[in-house]
């Protein structure tokens, strides 16, 4: 019996880490660029589909874990150059509408390329076994997913807290003018940050593909969850994205067997409550 709970908790952690990766990208983009990206879920979807294609062509999941996020980030960089950078100064309402349009285009293009029916991705070779500890057994891939997402999270933390790039991003989210006075090309910094944030959604898309596959309407579902996480954790907060992601993942996982719609009701209810009672989230700054 205890093993069943442990199983669900681990599942929740895995889901939570995926949500963390998506949301931290969204939150970084919001924090530095003050940009609301409603296409974030669509880029996640693209990550899953690219993973499917690479795995189908080469049979190599590890290659896809490298190539797909880069592909997503590259596409994000191109859209940033062509469109997004012209929208930074616009009110949030307009940003939402523009990225909503982008999400539509990405979704429809995905259906054109990969068809309307979802694709499944096989569990990578070498991780298709089961990890055993006494009487407890857990799929190896899901454990790997948790560890890998944690490593990415650590690297990201290191990047944001310990490098010059991170210092500029953090300074920029406080005050863009100062950063441009420091002689940094602020536009380059913005483009990189946007590509990085979206690339993280791509990583999450690849990691989740062997479990959930790739389906055209996954993007919208994920976008909603990502906003819940970002709002609960506090817009722009790294810690908030981690804690919020894990919370949402755990709630969803523990409720799946009892009442899955109840989980969605709960998390969206929590989002509304947080905005009304504590608009800057659990870890945000006012």
Partner 1 sequence: MSTTPTSSIWRGTTLLAVAAVVLMPVILPSPTLATEILIFALAALASNLLLGYTGLLSFGQGVFFGAGSYCSALVMIHWHFGLFPALLVGILAGALTAFVIGALAIRRTGIYFVMLTLSFSQMAYFVAYTMSSVTGGDNGLLNVPRPPVSVLGFELLSLASPLVFYGFVALLFLAVFVAARRVIHSPFGSTLVAIRENENRASAVGYDTRQFKVLAFVLSGAITGLAGALYALLLNFVPLSNIELATSEHILIMTIIGGTGSLLGSLLGAGSIVLLGDVLSALWPRWPMLLGLALIAVVMFLRGGLWGGLLDLKNRLIRSPEPPQPDTRQKDAAQ
Sorted by sequence, the CB contacts under 8 Å of residue 277 that are 6+ apart come out as: none
Collapsing DSSP to helix, strand or coil, 132 comes out as strand
Cα-Cα-Cα-Cα torsion 216, 221, 222, 225, nearest 10 degrees, comes to 180
Nearest residue to 20 (alpha-carbon basis) of 243, 234, 224 = 243
Residue closer to partner 1 (CB basis): 69 or 244: 244
Sorted by sequence, the CB contacts under 8 Å of residue 82 that are 6+ apart come out as: none
Letters for 212-251 (x = contact with partner 1 by CB under 8 A, - = none) are --------x---x--xx--x---x----------------
Residues in region 115-134 near partner 1 by CB under 8 A = 116
Q: How far is the CB of 111 from partner 1 (least distance, A)?
A: 6
Q: E strands within 23-171?
A: 130-133, 136-139
Q: Per residue in 155-178, is it b (16+ CB within 10 Å) or e — as a string? A: ebeeebeeeeeeebbbbbbeebee
Residue closer to partner 1 (CB basis): 16 or 236: 236
Residue closer to partner 1 (CB basis): 55 or 103: 103
Interface residue with partner 1, options 1, 2, 4, 112 (CB under 8 A): 112
Q: How far apart are CA 183 and CA 181, in angstroms?
A: 5
Q: How far is the CB of 16 from partner 1 (least distance, A)?
A: 19
Q: How far is the CB of 18 from partner 1 (least distance, A)?
A: 19
Q: How far is the CB of 186 from partner 1 (least distance, A)?
A: 17
Residues in region 85-104 near partner 1 by CB under 8 A = 86-87, 89-94, 96-98, 100-104
Q: How far is the CB of 253 from partner 1 (least distance, A)?
A: 17
Q: Is 257 in the site for partner 1 (CB under 8 A)?
A: no
Q: How far is the CB of 25 from partner 1 (least distance, A)?
A: 17
Q: How far apart are CA 195 and CA 244, in angstroms?
A: 23
Q: How many binding residues for partner 1 (CB under 8 A)?
A: 42
Q: How far apart are CA 88 and CA 247, in angstroms?
A: 31
Nearest residue to 223 (alpha-carbon basis) of 90, 39, 73, 29 = 39
Site residues (vs partner 1, CB under 8 A): 36, 83, 86-87, 89-94, 96-98, 100-105, 107-109, 111-112, 116, 220, 224, 227-228, 231, 235, 261-262, 264-265, 268-269, 271-272, 275-276, 279
């Amino acid at each position: 019996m205890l093993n069943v709970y442990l199983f669900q908790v681990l599942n929740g952690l895995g889901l939570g880490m995926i949500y963390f990766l998506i949301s931290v990208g969204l939150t970084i983009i919001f924090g530095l660029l003050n940009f609301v990206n409603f296409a974030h879920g669509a880029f996640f979807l693209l990550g899953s589909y690219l993973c499917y294609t690479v795995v189908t062509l080469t049979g190599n999941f590890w290659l896809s874990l490298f190539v797909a996020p880069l592909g997503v980030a590259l596409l994000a960089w191109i859209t940033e150059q062509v469109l997004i950078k012209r929208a930074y100064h616009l009110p949030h309402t307009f940003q939402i509408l523009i990225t909503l349009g982008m999400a539509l285009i990405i979704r429809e293009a995905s259906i054109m390329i990969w068809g309307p029916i979802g694709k499944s991705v096989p569990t990578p070779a070498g991780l298709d076994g089961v990890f055993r500890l006494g009487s407890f057994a857990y799929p190896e891939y899901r454990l790997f997913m948790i560890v890998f997402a944690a490593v990415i999270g650590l690297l990201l933390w290191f990047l944001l807290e310990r490098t010059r790039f991170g210092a500029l991003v953090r300074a920029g989210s406080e005050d863009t003018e100062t950063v441009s006075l420091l002689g940094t090309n602020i536009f380059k910094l913005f483009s990189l940050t946007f590509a990085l944030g979206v690339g993280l959604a791509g990583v999450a898309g690849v990691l989740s593909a062997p479990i959930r596959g790739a389906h055209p309407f996954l993007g919208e579902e994920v976008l909603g969850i990502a906003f819940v996480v970002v709002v609960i954790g506090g817009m722009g907060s790294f810690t908030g994205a981690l804690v919020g992601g894990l919370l949402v993942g755990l709630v969803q996982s523990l409720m799946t067997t009892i009442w899955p719609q109840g989980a969605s009701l709960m998390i969206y209810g929590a989002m509304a409550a947080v905005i009304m009672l504590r608009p800057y989230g659990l870890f945000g700054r006012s």
